[in-house]
Amino acid sequence: MRRAACILLALALAGCASLPPPASGDAFAGDAAQRARIDALGLAGGDCAAPAWSLVGRVALSNGRQGGSGRIEWTQAAGAQRLQLSAPVTRQSWVLEVDAGGAELQGIAGSPISDSDPARLLRDATGWDIPVAALGCWVRGAAAAGLGPARIDYGVDLLPRRIEQDGWTVEYDGWRGSSDGPALPGRIEARRGEDRVRLVVDQWAIQ
Protein backbone atom coordinates (compact mmCIF):
# COMPACT_ATOMS: atom_id res chain seq x y z
CA MET A 1 0.00 0.00 0.00
CA ARG A 2 2.86 2.36 0.83
CA ARG A 3 4.45 1.81 -2.61
CA ALA A 4 1.14 2.53 -4.35
CA ALA A 5 0.63 5.69 -2.32
CA CYS A 6 4.14 6.88 -3.17
CA ILE A 7 3.54 6.29 -6.87
CA LEU A 8 0.40 8.39 -6.78
CA LEU A 9 1.98 11.10 -4.68
CA ALA A 10 4.70 11.46 -7.32
CA LEU A 11 2.26 12.15 -10.14
CA ALA A 12 1.82 15.74 -11.39
CA LEU A 13 -1.40 17.49 -12.42
CA ALA A 14 -2.51 21.02 -13.24
CA GLY A 15 -6.00 22.45 -13.52
CA CYS A 16 -8.01 20.30 -11.08
CA ALA A 17 -9.44 23.09 -8.95
CA SER A 18 -12.87 22.68 -7.39
CA LEU A 19 -15.76 23.20 -9.73
CA PRO A 20 -17.90 26.36 -9.51
CA PRO A 21 -21.39 26.17 -7.97
CA PRO A 22 -23.93 24.88 -10.51
CA ALA A 23 -26.57 27.18 -11.97
CA SER A 24 -30.13 25.90 -11.75
CA GLY A 25 -32.21 24.80 -14.73
CA ASP A 26 -35.77 23.54 -15.22
CA ALA A 27 -36.06 20.02 -13.75
CA PHE A 28 -38.82 18.78 -16.07
CA ALA A 29 -37.12 20.02 -19.21
CA GLY A 30 -33.80 18.74 -17.88
CA ASP A 31 -35.22 15.26 -17.30
CA ALA A 32 -36.54 15.15 -20.88
CA ALA A 33 -33.23 16.34 -22.31
CA GLN A 34 -31.36 13.85 -20.12
CA ARG A 35 -33.44 10.91 -21.37
CA ALA A 36 -32.65 11.86 -24.96
CA ARG A 37 -28.95 12.23 -24.13
CA ILE A 38 -28.87 8.86 -22.33
CA ASP A 39 -30.46 7.18 -25.35
CA ALA A 40 -27.87 8.79 -27.64
CA LEU A 41 -25.06 7.55 -25.38
CA GLY A 42 -26.39 3.99 -25.48
CA LEU A 43 -26.97 3.99 -21.71
CA ALA A 44 -30.73 3.47 -21.70
CA GLY A 45 -30.17 -0.11 -20.54
CA GLY A 46 -28.20 1.11 -17.52
CA ASP A 47 -24.96 -0.77 -18.32
CA CYS A 48 -22.07 1.51 -17.33
CA ALA A 49 -19.58 -0.75 -19.16
CA ALA A 50 -21.25 -0.11 -22.53
CA PRO A 51 -20.97 0.95 -25.25
CA ALA A 52 -17.38 1.41 -26.48
CA TRP A 53 -15.68 4.70 -25.55
CA SER A 54 -12.41 6.13 -24.34
CA LEU A 55 -11.00 9.27 -22.76
CA VAL A 56 -7.61 10.81 -22.11
CA GLY A 57 -7.14 13.33 -19.36
CA ARG A 58 -5.78 14.19 -15.93
CA VAL A 59 -6.97 12.84 -12.60
CA ALA A 60 -6.45 13.79 -8.95
CA LEU A 61 -7.30 11.54 -6.01
CA SER A 62 -7.61 12.30 -2.31
CA ASN A 63 -8.82 10.38 0.74
CA GLY A 64 -8.21 13.01 3.42
CA ARG A 65 -4.81 11.54 4.32
CA GLN A 66 -3.07 11.10 0.98
CA GLY A 67 -3.32 12.81 -2.37
CA GLY A 68 -2.00 11.98 -5.81
CA SER A 69 -2.53 12.92 -9.42
CA GLY A 70 -1.45 12.07 -12.94
CA ARG A 71 -2.39 11.26 -16.52
CA ILE A 72 -5.28 8.90 -17.10
CA GLU A 73 -6.24 6.83 -20.13
CA TRP A 74 -9.59 5.05 -19.84
CA THR A 75 -10.82 2.66 -22.52
CA GLN A 76 -13.78 0.32 -22.50
CA ALA A 77 -15.38 -1.93 -25.09
CA ALA A 78 -17.31 -5.22 -25.16
CA GLY A 79 -17.94 -5.02 -21.40
CA ALA A 80 -14.24 -4.66 -20.50
CA GLN A 81 -12.52 -1.61 -18.99
CA ARG A 82 -8.87 -0.57 -18.88
CA LEU A 83 -7.66 2.35 -16.75
CA GLN A 84 -4.05 3.47 -16.80
CA LEU A 85 -2.74 6.15 -14.44
CA SER A 86 0.77 7.36 -15.16
CA ALA A 87 3.35 10.01 -14.31
CA PRO A 88 4.94 11.46 -17.48
CA VAL A 89 8.13 12.51 -15.65
CA THR A 90 8.83 9.44 -13.48
CA ARG A 91 7.19 6.99 -15.94
CA GLN A 92 5.60 5.20 -13.00
CA SER A 93 2.11 3.85 -13.61
CA TRP A 94 -0.51 1.33 -12.63
CA VAL A 95 -3.09 -0.37 -14.81
CA LEU A 96 -6.51 -1.67 -13.79
CA GLU A 97 -8.29 -4.08 -16.13
CA VAL A 98 -11.90 -5.10 -15.47
CA ASP A 99 -14.19 -7.56 -17.23
CA ALA A 100 -17.03 -9.92 -16.35
CA GLY A 101 -14.57 -12.25 -14.62
CA GLY A 102 -13.27 -9.64 -12.18
CA ALA A 103 -10.44 -7.11 -11.95
CA GLU A 104 -6.64 -7.21 -12.14
CA LEU A 105 -4.24 -4.49 -10.98
CA GLN A 106 -0.66 -4.16 -12.25
CA GLY A 107 2.14 -1.77 -11.39
CA ILE A 108 2.41 -2.11 -7.59
CA ALA A 109 4.41 -4.43 -5.35
CA GLY A 110 3.22 -8.03 -5.61
CA SER A 111 1.28 -7.37 -8.79
CA PRO A 112 -0.58 -8.51 -10.66
CA ILE A 113 -3.27 -8.86 -8.00
CA SER A 114 -6.91 -9.64 -8.67
CA ASP A 115 -10.35 -9.49 -7.08
CA SER A 116 -13.93 -9.98 -8.24
CA ASP A 117 -14.71 -6.40 -7.11
CA PRO A 118 -12.59 -3.66 -8.76
CA ALA A 119 -13.45 -1.02 -6.14
CA ARG A 120 -12.43 -3.36 -3.32
CA LEU A 121 -9.24 -4.28 -5.17
CA LEU A 122 -8.20 -0.63 -5.45
CA ARG A 123 -9.20 0.15 -1.87
CA ASP A 124 -7.23 -2.78 -0.42
CA ALA A 125 -4.18 -2.26 -2.65
CA THR A 126 -3.88 1.53 -2.71
CA GLY A 127 -6.15 3.00 -0.04
CA TRP A 128 -8.23 4.87 -2.64
CA ASP A 129 -12.02 4.51 -2.60
CA ILE A 130 -12.87 4.75 -6.32
CA PRO A 131 -16.35 3.59 -7.44
CA VAL A 132 -15.05 2.13 -10.71
CA ALA A 133 -18.29 0.54 -11.95
CA ALA A 134 -20.40 3.62 -11.29
CA LEU A 135 -17.78 5.98 -12.72
CA GLY A 136 -18.38 4.46 -16.14
CA CYS A 137 -21.77 6.18 -16.05
CA TRP A 138 -20.93 9.17 -13.89
CA VAL A 139 -18.07 10.41 -16.08
CA ARG A 140 -20.56 10.64 -18.97
CA GLY A 141 -23.08 12.55 -16.86
CA ALA A 142 -25.49 9.67 -16.20
CA ALA A 143 -26.80 7.97 -13.07
CA ALA A 144 -25.55 4.40 -12.50
CA ALA A 145 -28.02 1.54 -12.54
CA GLY A 146 -28.15 -0.72 -9.50
CA LEU A 147 -27.06 1.94 -6.98
CA GLY A 148 -30.50 3.09 -5.94
CA PRO A 149 -32.23 6.40 -6.66
CA ALA A 150 -30.28 9.36 -7.98
CA ARG A 151 -30.98 13.08 -7.78
CA ILE A 152 -29.94 15.11 -10.81
CA ASP A 153 -29.73 18.92 -10.84
CA TYR A 154 -29.53 20.65 -14.23
CA GLY A 155 -27.93 23.83 -15.44
CA VAL A 156 -29.63 26.44 -17.57
CA ASP A 157 -28.38 24.51 -20.62
CA LEU A 158 -30.43 21.48 -19.36
CA LEU A 159 -27.26 19.42 -18.93
CA PRO A 160 -26.46 17.77 -15.58
CA ARG A 161 -24.59 19.97 -13.14
CA ARG A 162 -24.80 17.60 -10.16
CA ILE A 163 -25.71 13.95 -9.58
CA GLU A 164 -26.19 12.63 -6.04
CA GLN A 165 -26.23 8.83 -5.73
CA ASP A 166 -25.11 6.16 -3.25
CA GLY A 167 -23.71 8.83 -0.93
CA TRP A 168 -21.56 10.34 -3.69
CA THR A 169 -21.93 13.84 -5.12
CA VAL A 170 -20.72 14.23 -8.71
CA GLU A 171 -20.40 17.73 -10.18
CA TYR A 172 -19.82 18.71 -13.82
CA ASP A 173 -18.47 21.64 -15.78
CA GLY A 174 -17.05 22.38 -19.22
CA TRP A 175 -19.62 20.47 -21.27
CA ARG A 176 -18.63 19.96 -24.90
CA GLY A 177 -21.22 19.79 -27.64
CA SER A 178 -20.80 17.69 -30.76
CA SER A 179 -22.40 17.73 -34.18
CA ASP A 180 -22.42 13.93 -34.34
CA GLY A 181 -23.07 12.95 -30.73
CA PRO A 182 -24.33 14.01 -27.29
CA ALA A 183 -22.61 16.57 -25.08
CA LEU A 184 -19.97 15.25 -22.68
CA PRO A 185 -18.39 16.93 -19.63
CA GLY A 186 -14.88 18.33 -19.60
CA ARG A 187 -14.48 18.39 -15.83
CA ILE A 188 -15.91 15.95 -13.27
CA GLU A 189 -15.55 15.91 -9.49
CA ALA A 190 -16.90 13.01 -7.40
CA ARG A 191 -16.76 13.10 -3.62
CA ARG A 192 -18.07 11.18 -0.62
CA GLY A 193 -16.85 12.17 2.80
CA GLU A 194 -13.10 12.67 2.54
CA ASP A 195 -12.81 10.61 -0.66
CA ARG A 196 -12.53 12.67 -3.82
CA VAL A 197 -11.87 12.02 -7.51
CA ARG A 198 -11.30 14.96 -9.88
CA LEU A 199 -11.04 14.44 -13.62
CA VAL A 200 -10.19 16.84 -16.43
CA VAL A 201 -10.94 15.28 -19.83
CA ASP A 202 -8.67 16.38 -22.67
CA GLN A 203 -10.14 14.05 -25.29
CA TRP A 204 -13.31 11.97 -25.63
CA ALA A 205 -13.88 9.20 -28.20
CA ILE A 206 -17.35 7.64 -28.40
CA GLN A 207 -17.99 4.76 -30.79
Q: Regarding beta strands 80-86 and 53-62, do their DSSP bridges make them parallel or antiparallel, or are they unpaired?
A: unpaired
CATH class as words, domain 2-14+24-202:
mainly beta
Instruction: Provide the percentage of residues in the chain whose pLDDT is more than 90.
Output: 54
Angle between helices 118-126 and 2-10 (to 10 degrees): 90
Instruction: Determine whether 170 is exposed, middle or buried from the number of CB atoms within 10 Å of its CB (0-12, 13-18, 19+).
Output: buried
Per DSSP, the residues of 114-175 read EES-HHHHHHHHHS----HHHHHHHTTT-PPTTS--EEEEE-TTSSEEEEEETTEEEEEE--
Per-domain residue ranges of the chain: 2-14+24-202
Report, as an integer, the average pLDDT of 156-185: 91
Task: Give residue 88's pLDDT band: very low, low, confident or very high (50, 70, 90).
Answer: low
DSSP, res 64: S
- Does the pLDDT value for residue 17 go beyond 60? no
Q: Which of 69-73, 96-100, 124-128, 175-179 is predicted with the least confidence, judged by mean pLDDT?
A: 175-179
Chain segment 172-188, per-residue pLDDT in tens: 999 997 666 899 999 99
- Does the pLDDT value for residue 165 go beyond 80? yes
| Reported pTM | 0.83
- Does the pLDDT value for residue 193 go beyond 60? yes
pLDDT of residue 198: 94
